[in-house]
Amino acid sequence: MALAASGNVPVATKRVRARATAASPRIAVVGPSADAVGGQAVQARALVDGLRADGVTVRTISISPSLPTRLRRLPYVRTVLNQALYLPGLLRLASVDVIHIFSASYWSFLISAVPAMLVGRLFGKRVILNYHSGEAPDHLARWGVLVHPWLSLAHVIVVPSEFLRRVFAEHGYDVAVVPNVVDISTFSYRARRVLRPRLLSVRHLEPGYGVGAIIEAFARVRAAVADATLTVAGSGSEEAVLRARVDALGLRDAVRFVGRQDRAGLAKLHTDADIFVNASAIDNQPVSILEAMASGLPIVSTGPGDIPFMLRDGESGVLVAQRDPGAMAHAVLDLVARPAYAVHLAEAAHRDVERFSWECTRTQWAAVYRGHQD
């Protein structure tokens, strides 16, 4: 499949692309809704936008149809209603050629990805499972018949990272790797020649993302640099606990919680910040780090999942041990003390982020859709 590039092009080139588009498969993207929170939702939007910009016919089927707020707060009721709305929508798969299914792990895999794969097979469509979860090692090792027989329904399994490729290989699966996509144009690169102690965290406020460890690290940074600040973007179940900890540490004037942000809001936060921090304990290929790389932010992070493949320690970022606020604080203070080194890291990371652009990944997806990577 030839995916056409966007922009002003000669008429003859447009005609060639029109013929290519006409021959392109019709694709259904089954994944989180456009207003959902999380990396998979960001990736689903980026994929759909890229394909449509290239003239490809794309249908979207949400695995999480919109429900009234009062119903979303009732776990079991929410699940039943969600399935009642989601499953009938899978009948729309009859009108496409290729089904691209975003998948997390555990129960989400069973109630969202598996039905889409079954229906796709029933209709005789090409089924692509795009698995993203950083919890894959535990999922594949412990869920047995609740995961492995179903994986065979996919014509090809695609993962975004070398980390997940290795995890699946340990269980005998040969998978394709297509990296996550970051919209580089949304984030403006800025070299921080003068590095201020302005820290930024962009993750869900959930236990696995370690925002509490970032706050503990920041307390140490603040003790050493009086004008240091931390901006925390994101929402989640730990927000009240994290705010209380900030108050207990006497950091209310230095730590700003800004909640969930849209793309424009995120871009501004990245422009205003000088150092990006991440302390996740379980991860895959976080889009938040890719966005920091695109923005020219020097990065201090823990190293679960694919992060060591994204950031080369001491070359394009600084990796520290998990659950070690002291090590993170030391790394941040070292960057503040050595701005030239911080710029060197950020420049190297910015060069690396090019391979996560749509311009680089579109041909890889084209090969997957055509079956050239089976």
Going residue by residue through the chain, which has 374 residues, state the pLDDT in tens, using 9 for 90 and above: 444 333 444 444 344 344 444 468 999 999 987 666 677 888 999 999 999 999 999 999 999 866 566 656 666 667 788 788 899 999 999 999 999 999 999 999 999 999 999 999 999 999 999 999 999 999 999 999 999 999 999 999 999 999 999 999 999 999 999 999 988 788 999 999 999 999 999 999 999 999 999 999 999 999 999 999 999 999 999 999 999 999 999 999 999 999 999 889 999 999 999 999 999 999 999 999 999 999 999 999 999 999 999 999 999 999 999 999 999 999 999 999 999 999 999 999 999 998 899 999 999 999 999 986 55
* Spatial separation of the C-alpha atoms in residues 136 and 132, rounded to whole Å: 8
The answer to whether 106 and 135 have CB atoms below 8 angstroms apart is yes
The answer to whether 275 and 199 have CB atoms below 8 angstroms apart is yes
Please check whether the two domains, 11-181+357-370 and 184-354, share a CATH topology: yes
Which residue ranges make up each domain of the chain? 11-181+357-370, 184-354
The answer to whether 100 and 128 have CB atoms below 8 angstroms apart is yes
Instruction: Mention every residue, 6+ apart, whose C-beta is less than 8 A from residue 280.
Output: 203, 208, 209, 210, 286, 301, 302, 304, 305, 307
Q: Provide the H-helix boundaries in the chain.
A: 11-23, 39-53, 69-72, 75-89, 106-108, 114-122, 136-142, 148-151, 162-170, 211-224, 239-248, 263-272, 287-295, 307-310, 325-337, 339-352, 358-370
Q: Is CATH 3.40.1030.10 the right assignment for the domain spanning 11-181+357-370?
A: no
Instruction: Mention every residue, 6+ apart, whose C-beta is less than 8 A from residue 169.
Output: 175
Q: Is 136 exposed, middle or buried (0-12, 13-18, 19+ CB in 10 A)?
A: buried
* Spatial separation of the C-alpha atoms in residues 311 and 190, rounded to whole Å: 18
Q: Sheet of 27-31: strands edge to edge?
A: 58-62, 27-31, 98-103, 126-131, 156-159, 176-177
pLDDT score, position 73: 64
The answer to whether 130 and 102 have CB atoms below 8 angstroms apart is yes
* Spatial separation of the C-alpha atoms in residues 309 and 148, rounded to whole Å: 27
From residue 237, alpha-carbon distances to 164, 204, 216, 244, 313 in Å are: 27, 9, 18, 13, 31
Q: What is the CATH number of domain 184-354?
A: 3.40.50.2000
State pTM to two decimals: 0.82
Location of structure tokens 């079956």: 371
